Structure 1
Amino acid sequence: MENQVTNNANALRLFFTDEVFVVKDESMQKRSVGNPEPVFAAGNVAVAVENKTVLDTEIARIPEIKSTTEPKVYPQAPEIPRIAEEPVPEKVFKFLGGNKKSVLILVNDQQHDVSTEQGRELLRKIVKAIDLGTPDFAVLNYANYKGTDYIELHRFFKPHIMLSFGVEIAELKLNLSWQDEIIIHDSTKIIFAPNLHHLDSDIIAKKKLWGHLQKIK
């Protein structure tokens, strides 16, 4: 509903015959609203000032960091020299003969330097059959070097011919098989036969050996 109160003078004369005085109603004016001034508590202002003072003091204590364009050079650690592996010393063998013709004769006798008297006599006949003298071959008693393989023997003696009496293929660590035929391995001709002492009394084995020796003369 609209407000029926009026302060218009002409309108009021229609209702009232007496003198009408229009009085300005101060209560009808709207109070102008301005920007209110902020009100701060005194305690908060004091704390803010105190904190600012402490902060300024701490900043003043921080030393100034000066930038530099020159990088700092650190000394390099000395290079540690590598330890060279020591070469494995070559095995040395004590043998009979001169090995001038690179003929290696292996025997296997734990009680004698070469073999029994019968075995030594048989060996003299064998080397004579292939026209060899003592300076031409090397006789090695394998019983004194158990565990030595073919590679070690070949490295030391470099044989063109190897006669093995009583030393088996497995002992020399050769991946070969003996089938009563001359074996050619690494350009070395190899013949296997029984121990000299036993071979002297084995007629069949001696005949096979003589046949092989004729092929390598």
Structure 2
Amino acid sequence: MGSELTTNGAALRLFFTEDIYLIKGEEGYSTEEALGSVVQEDSAGFIGAEEESLSLAAEENTQIPQVTNPATVTASPVVPAIPTIPQPISIPVLAAAAEKPAALSFTFLGKNKKKILILVNDATHEVSDEAGRELLRKIVKSINLTASDFALLNYANYPKASFTELQQYFSSGLIFAFGVSAADLKLATQPENKIVMEGDVRLIFSAELRKLEQDPAGKKALWGSLKQLGL
């Protein structure tokens, strides 16, 4: 049988209705050879593309630091450090000094020019009964005192007044206490009708005027002490 290969253009038009273009230099190739060439080219192109793809994939697997475009990064707001506020130092509060009690105010007879205080103790009378007042007049006259020289205070009206409080008010240099004991004035116990000292203050403690008037021995002892005063 003869070869089925034909190059007759008219014959080829019977099988191929589309235009066929012959590539210069390939005029003597068979259809199989022409198709094989195309397949080889496609295979070579595909294989090359695949190898290139694998190569790119291998390159992508390589850990390469990613450079971030600074323009696309949203900067986190910088929060200034809050300074640590030191704890306040606890300062102990000093207790306020006890307020000094207000000085007592006294109502008395006389002008106290010589800073001599005479205390009597009678809850019934302003000074004493008639006998007691007479005895007091004799005592004051015996040491040459007048009403302007001394202050006469009825202690019955101020039963809690201490020696210190009396001194704060009268500033006495000499105190006669008739019917007022040393204990009443918050002082140590003292004998009667004797001159005793409390600091630079002279004191004479004696019985209440009415009782003293009826006690000759007491009056005698008191008289001896009055002479020692040098008034």
Shorter-chain TM range is 0.5 to 0.7
Amino acid at match of 1:200: E
Select the residue among 78, 96, 100 that pairs with 1:66.
78
Whose radius of gyration is greater, 1 or 2? 2
1:143 and 2:156 are equivalent in the alignment: yes
Tell me the CA shift for residue 181 of structure 1: 2.5
SS at match of 1:134: coil
SS at match of 1:94: coil
String of CA shifts for 1:43-101, please: whole Å, max 9, x gaps: xxxxxxxxxxxxxxxxxxxx946242674889x9xxx9x98865421100000000000
Tell me the CA shift for residue 160 of structure 1: 0.5
Q: In the alignment, is the contact (CA less than 8 A) between 2:190 and 2:205 conserved in 1?
A: no
Comparing 65-74 with 133-142, which one deviates more in the overlay?
65-74
Q: Which sections of structure 2, spanning at least 5 residues, go unmatched?
A: 1-74
TM-score by length of 1: 0.62
1:102: which partner in 2?
A: 115
CA 1:160/1:169 → structure 2, altered by over 3 Å: closer, same or farther?
A: same
Q: In the alignment, is the contact (CA less than 8 A) between 2:194 and 2:222 conserved in 1?
A: no
Q: Report runs of 4+ in structure 1 exceeding 4 Å deviation.
A: 82-87
Q: Which sections of structure 1, spanning at least 5 residues, go unmatched?
A: 1-62
Select the residue among 180, 194, 201 that pairs with 1:181.
194
1:160 and 2:178 are equivalent in the alignment: no
CA RMSD in angstroms, aligned pairs only? 3.0
CA 1:202/1:85 → structure 2, altered by over 3 Å: closer, same or farther?
A: closer
Cα distance in 2, alignment partners of residues 186 and 213 from structure 1 = 19
TM-score by length of 2: 0.59
CA 1:180/1:137 → structure 2, altered by over 3 Å: closer, same or farther?
A: closer
Cα distance in 2, alignment partners of residues 94 and 113 from structure 1 = 11
SS at match of 2:148: helix
Question: 1:1-20 residue pairs with structure 2 within 5 A?
Answer: none
1:200 and 2:179 are equivalent in the alignment: no
Q: How many residues align?
A: 153
Cα distance in 2, alignment partners of residues 109 and 170 from structure 1 = 17
Tell me the CA shift for residue 176 of structure 1: 3.7
2:65: which partner in 1?
A: none
Matched-pair identity in %: 42
CA 1:169/1:85 → structure 2, altered by over 3 Å: closer, same or farther?
A: closer
Cα distance in 2, alignment partners of residues 131 and 84 from structure 1 = 46
SS at match of 2:224: helix
